[in-house]
Amino acid sequence: MISLPNPDRMAPLRAAPIDEIGENWTVAYSTGNSGEDGRDWCIQTDRVRASEMIDLDFPSDAKTDAHAIVAIVNAYRTGQLVLAK
């Protein structure tokens, strides 16, 4: 079982085209090619400075990050996680 970091120690994320990859810290290099716009997409941090990364638990190690993303998606998929309205 994976334990997730404290939400206060997790970086905000965004989905972005790979060609914008240099703007932030990459969490998942490629989620594949979009049939809508023909671009490759990735998951990256949203406006997080390098100096802030030292104080964060996510993103960290690639394996840990992958497990955290999968745990969140699976919790949402199974109804254990719901979006606030």
Q: What is the pLDDT of residue 26?
A: 78
With respect to residue 82, please indicate whether it lies within any of the assigned structural domains.
Answer: no
Q: What is the pLDDT of residue 78?
A: 92
With respect to residue 65, please indicate whether it lies within any of the assigned structural domains.
Answer: yes
Among 1, 53, 55, which residue's Cα sits nearest to residue 27?
53
Among 77, 72, 73, which residue's Cα sits nearest to residue 3?
72
| Domain range enclosing 57 | 7-77
With respect to residue 83, please indicate whether it lies within any of the assigned structural domains.
Answer: no
Split into its structural domains, the chain has a count of 1
With respect to residue 27, please indicate whether it lies within any of the assigned structural domains.
Answer: yes
With respect to residue 2, please indicate whether it lies within any of the assigned structural domains.
Answer: no
Q: Residue 44 pairs with which residues in a beta bridge?
A: 14, 26
Question: pLDDT tens digits, the chain, 85 residues: what are they?
Answer: 667 778 888 888 888 888 887 767 778 777 889 999 999 998 888 888 888 888 888 888 888 888 888 888 888 899 988 877 6
